[in-house]
Amino acid sequence: MKLGIDLGSRFVKIAIKKDDEINFYREDTVYFYKNRVKREDGNVLIDLSSYGATEDADIVATGYGRNMMSFANARVISEIKAHYRGALEATGDQEFILVDIGGQDSKVIYVKDSYIEDFVMNDKCAASTGRFLENASRILDISLDELTQMASDPIKLSSTCAIFSESELV
């Protein structure tokens, strides 16, 4: 049994592979830490037994919260490496550009000849991140799905500061 966990700032995403079947789950981050993380014999453990995970499961953790705790039962890898390996596995493509719009940052990864050629990330401000898009939807009083339909006629907003962009929306 293999488990992949993305410890995001807003949600924790879980993928569980058992035999040839993969199941996906999503939980609120606060809920996850309250209900799925436990201490045992001085160790911090991820407990996904409610999803059928066994104690000997191979767990790989990544995401915004990957370094917040030292999980005794999980290997930790960077988000860049997790995205790269996941995209290679899922698509088999040797060259691609992957865009991740996360809750607190955004990343663009360029893979060429099955190698991470380059990547950039916005980690200085929440502009253009998932949290910003959620706030923009709220300000505009529309759903995120409706917001995605507006890509054909974009307006220019400040990309250096989420607060400036939100002020422009208002």
Q: Does 58 lie in the same domain as 73?
A: yes
Q: What is the pLDDT of residues 10-19, one digit of tens each?
A: 899 999 998 8
Q: 84: closest CA among 125, 124, 118, 53?
A: 118
Q: Does 158 lie in the same domain as 91?
A: no
Q: Does 72 lie in the same domain as 87?
A: no
Between 84 and 160, residue with greater pLDDT: 84
CA angle 35, 73, 65 (to 5 degrees): 60
H or E element: which one contains 148? Answer: helix 144-148
Q: Which of 48-62, 70-84, 114-128, 154-168 has the lowest mean pLDDT?
A: 154-168
Number of domains the chain contains: 3
Q: Does 56 lie in the same domain as 20?
A: yes
Query: Do 41 and 55 meet the contact criterion of CB atoms below 8 Å apart?
Result: no
Q: What is the pLDDT of residues 62-75, one digit of tens each?
A: 988 888 778 999 99
Q: Does 11 lie in the same domain as 58?
A: yes
Our separate counts of H helices and E strands in the chain read 5, 10
In DSSP terms, which residues pair with 39 in a beta bridge? 44
> pTM of the full predicted structure?
0.75
Range of the domain at 91: 80-122
In DSSP terms, which residues pair with 101 in a beta bridge? 106
Q: What percent of the chain has pLDDT over 70?
A: 97
Q: How is residue 47 annotated by DSSP? A: -
Q: What is the pLDDT of residues 109-125, one digit of tens each?
A: 999 999 999 999 886 67
